[in-house]
Amino acid sequence: MAAPAIPPIRLGLIGTGLAVEKLHWPALRGLADRYAVTAFTDRSAEQSRRFADYSGADPAGAAADRAALLARDDVDAVLISVPIPDLYEVARDALEAGKDVLCEKPAGVDAEQAEAFLALAAGHPDRTFVVGENFFYRDDLRYARSLLDGGAIGRPHLMAWRHAGTMVPREGVFASTPWRQRPRYRGGVHLDAGVHHIAQIRLLCGDIARVHGAVQAANSTMDSPSDLALTLVFTGGAIGSYTASYPEIPIPPEINDMRLYGTEGVLVLAGSESERRVTRSSPDATTHTTVFRGIDNGYRAELVDFADAVQFGVRPVGSVAQSVANALVVQRALDSAEQTAVLALDPVPGAGPVPLWRPRGSTGLFDGLPGQRISSSASFAA
């Protein structure tokens, strides 16, 4: 006799803004066997109505506020997508209400609140509590990590990554939100977006032992540094550089690729959200490229991992500790810039090396996930 089907998680959404519309809902609607959205709320009534319109959610699921949503018996877990300064308070209330929590990143507005996130998780060991980091789940990054684990480029010894792009408020983009333009969290865009980049670096290069940072302000539309330059030393002995720039003026198209140099080859990660590429070069001057199309940048896999944690007790990759480890690299980099000094990073309890996520019960990387993967080879020999 077949095992009875496990009912979907009854999910409440606290915050229904751009992150839900552009990132989470497209993944949720493809996971009807794992989730049923039973309630939703937003401080903006217009935003809440908009979500109901495009999602087709039952109007009876609209809650007046988060307290009303958290009091509902038909909500098992919540997805929290509110402004960064409000994340901790909302997550605390949800955990105290007995709900499992998937919370948007980052874990804390500064180092002090990052520590409070760790304490909050430790105080609710009976609940699943994840601070989302979709980069841990991206197909191209997981594939690159599997190559590194398999010794595809030998011993990595140098990482180089420059990321630059114009950032100005425009309707319908994340930079348009007033709380991002005048952030009440330390580091501004380098905490908000930068934790994703740190997550990628940690996933592929391991944990960071020391940082030396410098910042500049060159964007009048944001009340925070626009430029961050970091020199990194990894616990495994490799070194690296990371530069992020978000000016307001138009700039020529940037390659924005990440390069990992090893003793037996080079790994290059490049491309856009619509087409990501992982290219491995070998000592014989051949290259092997895998192109990823139609992937959702990890949001589906992140939701699957959260559901597996809630329903089957699987330890999630995107733990609070891992998110705190990402955030504290940014905070320590800002400390370094202020002190004009090389600073060490202490290990975050419960974090350690980022695990490589695979679909539960699978040995493959992509089983059951959407997307197209195309591989090819070439030569760059003279």
In the predicted model, is pLDDT for residue 172 greater than 90? no
pLDDT at 1: 43
Residue 55: pLDDT band with limits 50, 70, 90: very high
Q: How confident is the model at residue 4 (pLDDT cuts 50, 70, 90)?
A: low
**Res. 50 pLDDT band, cuts 50 70 90:** very high
- Write down the pLDDT at residue 104: 97
Query: Average pLDDT in the 271-285 region?
Result: 94
Mean pLDDT across 327-335: 97
* Six-digit token string for 309: 């944690």
Backbone angles phi, psi at 164, to 5 degrees: -140, 145
pLDDT of 178: 79
Spell 274-308 as b/e; 16+ CB within 10 A means b: eebbbbbbeeeeebbbbbbeebbbbbbbbbbbbbb
From 124, 103, 106, select the one nearest 14 (Cα to Cα): 103
Name the segment(s) of the chain with CATH classification 3.40.50.720: 9-133+300-319
Q: What are the pLDDT digits (tens) for 105-138?
A: 999 999 999 999 999 999 999 999 999 999 999 9
Domain 9-133+300-319, CATH 3.40.50.720 — does that match? yes
Q: Once rounded to an integer, what is the mean pLDDT over residues 208-223?
A: 95
Question: 3-state class of 245 per DSSP?
Answer: strand
From CA 135, how far away is CA 318, in angstroms rounded? 9
Least confident of 84-88, 172-176, 218-222: 172-176
pLDDT over threshold 70, residue 361: yes
SS3 helix, strand, coil % of the chain, rounded to 5? 35, 25, 40
Tokens of 182: 């005048």
Average pLDDT, the chain: 94
Secondary element (H or E) of residue 376: strand 372-379
Q: Which helix (H) or strand (E) holds 234?
A: strand 227-234
pTM flag (> 0.85): yes
Confidence of residue 238 (pLDDT cuts 50, 70, 90): very high
State mean pLDDT over 218-246.
95
Q: Which ranges in the chain are annotated with CATH 3.30.360.10?
A: 136-297+372-379
DSSP result, 136-166: GG-HHHHHHHHHHHTTTTSSEEEEEEEEE--
Query: Tens of pLDDT along 129-152?
Result: 999 999 999 999 999 999 999 999
Q: Is the pLDDT of residue 154 over 70?
A: yes
- Structure confidence at residue 150 (pLDDT): 97
Q: Are 355 and 305 in contact (CB under 8 A)?
A: no
Average pLDDT over residues 73-85: 97
Angle at 363 between CA 272 and CA 208, to 5 degrees: 55
pLDDT tens per residue across span 250-269: 999 888 999 999 999 999 99
Residue range 68-85: mean pLDDT, rounded: 97
Amino acid at 142: R
Q: Which CATH number fits domain 136-297+372-379: 3.30.360.10, 3.40.50.2300, 3.90.1150.10, 3.30.70.330?
A: 3.30.360.10
How much of the chain exceeds pLDDT 90, in percent?
88
Mean pLDDT within 7-12? 97
What letter does residue 3 receive in the DSSP assignment? P
Phi, psi of 205 (to 5 degrees): -110, -10
Identify the pLDDT of residue 16.
Answer: 96
Mean pLDDT on 289-313:
96
Structure confidence at residue 3 (pLDDT): 52
pLDDT tier for residue 67 given thresholds of 50, 70 and 90: very high
Question: How far is it, in rounded angstroms, from Cα 290 to Cα 288?
Answer: 7
CA distance 22 to 32: 18
